[in-house]
Amino acid sequence: MKADVSTETTLVPQAVVSELTRQITLERSSSAFYVLMSSVLDNMNWPGFSKWCWNAAHDDRKDADKILKYLSMRHTQVAIEAVPQPPDPPRDLLQMFSMALEHEKAVTASVNSISQLALTSGDHATYHFLRKYIKSQLKEESSVQDVVAQLVIAGDNSSALLHVDHRIKRL
């Protein structure tokens, strides 16, 4: 006899589900922001920076999908929230990537908070799932930090900026 999954209760505490739903929206919003950055950078003739942002957008979409799949695997219905319009990125490379770094730090803090909530709620499966996600998020944050550091070193030197753009395009 088949079990009716629609009547099973979720295995994830509601507070954790709410925060994971918010995280999905944050990841999708982040993806939209990186797509916008990629377009702006492409129009500014920075193909390497544009490609880096496009790849970051793809990674954030995958992160949102992973959370959705995890919640589905745990028999949890998720309400998909609308993604807010991303802010227009500044046209200055250092300001743009500094803005992205602050955003990534906020995403990391959010994931850490959800992880702590899962642990204190006794939801060890979600806590374990988020440990892998935190590791990935730390790599994303570090990657943006590396770009910012290179932009600081390059300063206003157009040759150095072109070198950084070319180097990042190969990543």
Per-residue model confidence (pLDDT) at position 9: 55
Q: What is the DSSP string of 146-167?
A: HHHHHHHHHTT-HHHHHHHHHH
Q: Could you count the other beta carbons within 10 Å of the beta carbon of residue 165?
A: 21
Per-residue model confidence (pLDDT) at position 94: 97
Say yes or no to pLDDT of 5 above 70: no
Residue that wins the pLDDT comparison between 170 and 27: 27
The rounded mean pLDDT for the chain is 92
Q: What is the mean pLDDT of residues 126-131?
A: 96
What pTM does this model have? Answer: 0.89
What amino acid is encoded at 79 in this protein?
A: A
pLDDT bracket for residue 4 (50, 70, 90): very low
Structural domains of the chain, ranges and CATH numbers in brackets: 5-169 (1.20.1260.10)
Give the Cα separation of 96 and 117 in Å (integer): 32
Per-residue model confidence (pLDDT) at position 169: 82
Per-residue model confidence (pLDDT) at position 1: 45
